[in-house]
Amino acid sequence: MAKTKVTPFVDPVRRFVLLTNAKCGSSTVRTWFFANLDLAAMQRRPLRFLRAFGPRYAWRHLRDGRHITPRDVGDIERIRRMANYYRSAYCADAMRDGRAKGFFTVAVVRHPESRVVSGYVDKICGPERGEPWVREVVEAGGAGGEISFDEFLGYLERTPDEVCNPHWRRQSYLLEDYRIDAWVRLERLGEDFRKIGPRVGVDRLDFFEQRIQSNPYDPAAADAAEAARAADMPAMGSREVIAWRERHGAFPPKDAFLTEATRARIRRIYARDFALLPYET
C-alpha cells in the first residue's frame, strides 16, 4: 500500500512553508513552529486571526482547535495533536488551493548516514519496537524476531519509497516536489535558522539551543566505545543492541554502525538524497 506524503507546515503570518521528514528533528522543529506562530496569542485577537487564516479555518479552529492549542513547549503530546490537526485542517487546504503559492520554502534535513542509524536504534531497538509498523519491518527483513543493522539495510535496498515507512524513507521523496529556498541542516539547526531569521521570525530562535527528543549515544567509557567498534555492530541482532544499551546506559556510538561497507550501501540506498541535499557523499 502506497504511503501518503506528509503535508508541510504553513505559516500565513510570516508567509513561509516548512518541510521536514521523520527523524530530522521533527519534534524540536514542530515545537518551535507552534511557539513561533503563537496561536494562543492570536486567538485573543480575532480580527488578526481571521485576516491571517481566513474565515474557514478561523471558524474550525475556534470550534475544534482552541482546546488543543499548545501553551507549553514541554507538552509534547499536545503539540503532536495540534500538528496533526493543523496540517489537516489548514495546511492541506492552503497548499492545495494556492494560498501558500510563492511562500518562502524551508526544508529541514539530516545527513542520511546519521538518520538511518537513528531510525534503526530509535525505532527497531527503542521503546516503539513493539508497534505493528516496526514489527512489520523486523519480520520482513530479519529472522527469529530480530533484525541486525545489516539486515535493516537489506530491507531498505529492496523496499520502494512508496511503501517505506517515513522514518527511513529517503528525504527527497517528499522534498523533490518543491522548490526549496533554504536548507536547514539538523546538525546546524540553530545556525542555519538564524541565517533565515528575517524570513521566519527571530524571537524564538534561541529555542534551538535545546533538543526535545534525542537518543543517548556514545558511552562515556572509552573502552565501551572501543568495544562497540570491535563488536561488528552492523551484524549484531537488535536484541543484542538493546542489551548493549541496558549494560552501558546508552546506544553504541553511531560510527560503530558506519563501516566502509555500510556507508557504501547507504550511499546507494539514499543516492537521490545525496544528489539533492546539501551533503557530500
Domain ranges of the chain: 1-110+183-209, 111-170+216-281
Residue 97: per-residue pLDDT: 94
Grid coordinates given for 223 = 573502552
Cell 471558524 belongs to residue: 59
So what's the pLDDT on residue 227? Answer: 66
Q: What is the mean pLDDT of each run of 10 residues along the chain (281 residues)?
A: 81 97 92 92 88 92 87 82 94 95 97 97 94 95 95 97 95 95 96 96 85 60 60 91 88 90 97 95 72
User: For residue 134, what pLDDT is reported?
Assistant: 95
pLDDT of residue 77: 87
Whole-number Cα distances in Å, 217 to 14, 221, 241, 246, 250: 37, 12, 12, 12, 5
Q: What integer pLDDT is reported at residue 264 of this predicted model? A: 97
Calculate helix-pair angle for 260-269, 149-158, nearest 10 degrees. 20
Cβ-count burial 31-41 (b if 16+ within 10 Å, e if not): bbbbbbbbbee
How would DSSP label each residue in 104-132? EEEEEE--HHHHHHHHIIIIISSGGGGSH
Distance CA 70, CA 204 (A): 15
Q: How confident is the model at residue 37, as a pLDDT?
A: 93
pLDDT in tens, 210-243: 655 566 666 555 566 566 666 789 999 999 999 9
Which pTM value belongs to this model? Answer: 0.90
Query: For residues 191 and 173, what is the distance between their CA atoms, to the nearest angstrom?
Result: 25
Q: DSSP letters of 209-223?
A: GS-SS----S-SSHH
